[in-house]
Amino acid sequence: MVGVGPGDPELMTYKAIKVLEASPVWIAPKAKKNGSSSALHIAAGMVSMDGKEILELHFPMKKVRLNHNADPELVSSWKDAAQKVINHLESGIDVAFPTLGDPALYSTAFYLLAALREQCTSLKVTIVPGITAMAACSAKIGNPLGLGDDVVTIVPAAFDDERLRDILATFDAVVLMKVYKKMARVVELLDEMNLTDKAVLIERCGLPDQKIYTDVRAAVDKELHYFSTLLIRKKEVVL
Ligand SMILES: C[S@@+](CC[C@H](N)C(=O)[O-])C[C@H]1O[C@@H](n2cnc3c(N)ncnc32)[C@H](O)[C@@H]1O
């Protein structure tokens, strides 16, 4: 499981590059059946794919609620991917799974890992952490994620209004992931809570077409890219 960072290949770690170089097979996730893998695209910006076997596997974008049964189509995509990994490993071939940002944060990597562990108990897995999108976004706008006694929370924007309202009221800083189709609703909530001026939206952070919305209302009627993260900080940094 190799975190490849949030888009700019130069944000890949040395370790990620080394592991990808050494792996003859890469299995990369893609969200759309006919689309391509963002993680693969990022990895290819730093490591040559010449001579490698590359498999892009489709993992449908469906909501997962932990401790509830996941959509059967999704479960079968995890199990099929695990089987493909195991087939290679049983032939003595190492497999790398490049994944966007860090594998530990809202990534398919850990579902795949669970499916792998279910099918094969003697598996040796290395997890290579990556730079998260929120770290890159925070760096880009020059504002910390958490400082002093801040309590920071990270939330997928698909939460319902009531839960989001509670979270926005409770925490000092909030990272909203996957906001691309939710901005109208989120800005309405921010307005209601007088937090609109505390929010910054970063779209395609670190990529040539990156956009930063310091006025998040301007993003409401835009067709935003999936790579969009909203950072909300209530407190200023004062000395
Ligand atoms: C499935 S999550 C993956 C998160 C990733 N594992 C990480 O460590 O950041 C996808 C979300 O990450 C955020 N994201 C990923 N790349 C981004 C980028 N270059 N700019 C802004 N947000 C990004 C967006 O919120 C997107 O909807």
> What confidence category does residue 216 fall into, taking pLDDT thresholds of 50, 70 and 90?
very high
106 lines ligand 1 (CB under 6 A): yes
Ligand 1 pocket check: which of 41, 211, 227 to mutate, most ligand atoms within 8 Å of Cβ? 227
> What confidence category does residue 7 fall into, taking pLDDT thresholds of 50, 70 and 90?
very high
Ligand 1 pocket check: which of 154, 209, 228 to mutate, most ligand atoms within 8 Å of Cβ? 228
Residue 107 CA: nearest ligand 1 atom is 6
Looking at every residue in the chain, the average pLDDT score rounds to: 94
Beta-bridge partner residues of 29: 57
Query: Are 49 and 20 spatial neighbours (Cβ–Cβ below 8 Å)?
Result: no
pLDDT given for residue 185 in this prediction: 94
pLDDT given for residue 222 in this prediction: 95
AA letter at 183: M
Q: What is the DSSP letter of 180?
A: T
Q: What is the DSSP letter of 9?
A: G
Say what percent of the chain tops pLDDT 90: 82
What are the tens digits of pLDDT across the range 14-25? 999 999 999 999
98 lines ligand 1 (CB under 6 A): no
d(CA 80, CA 166): 38
Query: Are 78 and 112 spatial neighbours (Cβ–Cβ below 8 Å)?
Result: yes
What are the tens digits of pLDDT across the range 51-62? 999 999 988 777
What are the tens digits of pLDDT across the range 158-169? 788 899 999 999
* Three-class secondary structure of residue 28 per DSSP: strand
